[in-house]
Amino acid sequence: MGLTDVDMVTLTTGSHSLGGAHAAISPLLTNETFTPFDNTPGILDNDIFKRVLDGKCVVPIDCAFAKDPKLRAIIQGYANDQASFYKQFAISLDKMLSLSASTLSDPLAITIAQHAYLFNQTTTATAMVTKTSGSSKISFTAGLLLFIFMVL
C-alpha cells in the first residue's frame, strides 16, 4: 500500500498517544475501567515513545517495535524530538488518508464529543477536512484524532 516502516511506527505508536485500553473492550490488555497508553492521554505528543523505550507498553506491538533495531531508532528519534514526530505524523496521516478515494471537494465540518474517561468536563472538538487535488488538508483538535483512531 506504499506505507513505510516510518509510517507504521508513526501512525501506530503515535496514535496510542491519544487513548488507552478499556477492560470491557480489551480485557487481555487491562482489568481497569481505563488504562491510558501514556501519561498524557488525549494529547498528541511524544510521551508514548518515551514510555515505550522504558518498556512500559500497554499494547504489546509498541514494545515489539522497540525490540527491532531499525524501528527502535525511529522511536528514539521521536522520544527525543517531538517536532519531528509532529512533522512525520502529518505526512504519514496524509499518506494513509490518500489511500482511499474521496469525493470531498468542499470542507466538511465535524463536531465530536470527547471521550468521558479522558476529560472531567464535557467539551467538543471541531475539525475541518478539505480534500483538494488528491491532497488532504486537516485542521483539528485532539478530539478529531481520537475519533480517527477509534474508527481505524
CATH number, residue 54 = 1.10.420.10
State the Cα–Cα distance between residues 82 and 116, nearest whole angstrom: 27
Residue 118 lies in a domain: no
- Domains identified in the chain, total number: 1
Residue 83 lies in a domain: yes
Region label for 112, one of left (φ > 0), alpha (ψ between -120 and 50) or beta (otherwise): beta
- At CA 36, angle to CA 65 and CA 139, rounded to 5? 85
pLDDT tens, N- to C-terminus, the chain (152 residues): 889 999 999 999 999 998 898 888 889 898 989 999 999 988 899 999 999 999 999 999 999 999 999 999 999 999 999 999 999 999 998 898 888 766 656 655 655 555 554 444 333 444 444 444 444 444 444 444 444 444 44
Residue 9 lies in a domain: yes
Question: What residue numbers bound the domain in which 48 lies?
Answer: 5-99
Residue 22 lies in a domain: yes
* Residue 115 DSSP one-character state: P
Residue 29 lies in a domain: yes
Residue 137 lies in a domain: no
Whether residue 17 contacts residue 46, with contact meaning beta carbons closer than 8 Å, is answered with yes
Residue 127 lies in a domain: no
